[in-house]
Amino acid sequence: MDLRNHGLSPHSDVWTYPAMSDDLLELISNEHLTDVTLLGHSMGGKVAMHVALYHPEKIARLIVADMSPRYYPVEQDKVIEGLLSVDLGKITSRKEAEDQLSVHISDQGTRQFLLKNLYRKNENTFAWRFNLDAISKNIATIGSTFSPSSTACTLPSLFLRGEHSNYITEEDIPEIKKLFSKSEIETIAGAGHWLHADKPELFFTAVTGFIERAS
């Protein structure tokens, strides 16, 4: 599922975890989904946690990929700055967009990932699929707007972390265990924050193994 302001999902000035959770619940309802395994990565992981804590009756099990319930300071300033620097009205190719991005974002993999969201709106104009305006305005608060409920989630839960990522640290584990009392924590060897892209086979094995155990 593309979250609001991302991919092909609708754009909105409202970009909060409760709003994104409501979108997800609406999808579950509209599609009449049952026995749901909810998996989310990074920000999507916080959306998944929010649903599990406030609406546990809607899902059967939870998988969170490299994200904890804590506050995260903004670490994407350069990415936002780079995206805003791309002059969509003047570029005529993806190569030109990448050249402009490279001034702010040195990692080629990150640039290529971001450029997947660039599409040709018409013959002479490019546009971003994500809502860059809403994201840039709210990025400073999105790390702090997740509000865990006072009641622990008792659903079977798996927290996957990348060996080379600092998104789930040893200090985060007590809070995870407090909020998700039946949680398992597993480390994907050799992976960073993008663990599903870094080590897809290990990630797949961990996910399917957990679903089998928790079913």
- The reported pLDDT for the residue numbered 53 is 95
> Where does the pLDDT of residue 161 fall: very low under 50, low under 70, confident under 90, or very high at 90 and above?
very high
Q: pLDDT higher for 52 or 142? A: 52
Asked if 172 is an active-site residue, the reply is: no
Of the residues 13, 87, 99, 133, only one is catalytic, namely 133
- The reported pLDDT for the residue numbered 16 is 92
Of the residues 9, 12, 42, 136, only one is catalytic, namely 42
Separation between Cα atoms, residue 181 and residue 97, nearest integer Å: 46
Asked if 193 is an active-site residue, the reply is: yes
- The reported pLDDT for the residue numbered 147 is 76
For residue 37, the cross-strand partners are 61
> Where does the pLDDT of residue 39 fall: very low under 50, low under 70, confident under 90, or very high at 90 and above?
very high
> Where does the pLDDT of residue 176 fall: very low under 50, low under 70, confident under 90, or very high at 90 and above?
very high
DSSP three-state, residue 157:
strand
- The reported pLDDT for the residue numbered 142 is 83
> Minimal CA–CA distance to 194: which of 131, 107, 71?
107
- The reported pLDDT for the residue numbered 169 is 96
Asked if 42 is an active-site residue, the reply is: yes
How many CB atoms neighbour CB 153 within 10 A?
21
> Where does the pLDDT of residue 150 fall: very low under 50, low under 70, confident under 90, or very high at 90 and above?
confident
Whether 113 shows a pLDDT value over 80: the answer reads yes
Cα separations in angstroms, 125 against 91, 96, 130, 177, 192: 8, 13, 16, 49, 35
